[in-house]
Amino acid sequence: MYQLKYRRSDNRIELITEYGEKKLLNDSISSKPTISPGGLKAIYLSPCEWESITKLYLFDLRNGDNIQLIGDIDGAYMPKGAIWVDNSYLALIIGFGTFSDGGNVYLYNLMDSQLIKITDWDQRKQVVKLEYNSGFLKCKGIEYLSDMMEEYIEFKEILDIKLYTL
């Protein structure tokens, strides 16, 4: 099995092969990889740089396959965050371009690559952090008070994702 080690010093992911060889997984600044509940796969975002088009990747720890799951959507939206729900589903934040911190909540079915939109807000309301617990997503976000997007309030919301999964 392969291992992934996150180097906080330069925000890079180091790949350790089954023979102990070390090399960089990619050439970009990346998010810290998150291991699946079953321990066989990992997800990460890259590049994680200001005004870059971020993509979501799935790394198979058994065979070393590194697959891009989601890139930009319609040239305007991209993944901002991702967490494991179970071994078949991911919860995602897909945001508004390169300038926003957050976005809407989606589920991604790894079995059929289906992307399911859970929230449908405009760019004034954005989820910036997700946590999963027993069928519910805890969302933390910001809601701008005007179209100028200068002032905002923080919000918390709980979403029942059992309504969207099998």
Q: Tell me the pLDDT tens digit for each residue of 56-87.
A: 999 999 999 999 999 999 988 999 999 999 99
**56 shares its domain with 98:** no
Residue 147 pLDDT more than 70? yes
Percentages of the chain per state (helix, strand, coil), in multiples of 5: 0, 50, 45
pLDDT, position 57: 99
**4 shares its domain with 48:** yes
What's the angle, vertex CA 10, arms to CA 9 and CA 16, rounded to 5? 90
Instruction: Report d(CA 70, CA 43) in Å as an integer.
Output: 11
**91 shares its domain with 10:** no
- Could you say which DSSP state residue 88 is in? S
Cβ distance 49 to 12 under 8 Å? no
What pTM value is reported for the model?
0.94
**102 shares its domain with 161:** yes
**64 shares its domain with 87:** no
Instruction: Report d(CA 136, CA 19) in Å as an integer.
Output: 40
Examine the fold and report which residue of 71, 94, 109 is the final residue of a domain before the chain moves on: 71
- Residue 99 belongs to what domain range? 76-166
Examine the fold and report which residue of 52, 71, 90 is the final residue of a domain before the chain moves on: 71
**43 shares its domain with 111:** no
Examine the fold and report which residue of 37, 71, 105 is the final residue of a domain before the chain moves on: 71
**118 shares its domain with 132:** yes
Q: What is the pLDDT of residues 93-124, one digit of tens each?
A: 999 887 888 999 999 999 999 999 999 999 99
**43 shares its domain with 58:** yes
**43 shares its domain with 84:** no
- Tokens for 113, please give them: 């690559």
Number of independent structural domains in the chain: 2
- Strand ranges, E, within 47-123: 55-60, 66-70, 77-84, 89-96, 103-109, 114-117
pLDDT band at 165 (very low <50, low <70, confident <90, very high): confident
**Would you call 162 helix, strand, or coil by DSSP?**
helix
Q: Span 139-162, mean pLDDT?
A: 95
**132 shares its domain with 53:** no
**50 shares its domain with 106:** no
pLDDT, position 30: 97
pLDDT, position 73: 92
Q: Span 115-144, mean pLDDT?
A: 96
**42 shares its domain with 9:** yes
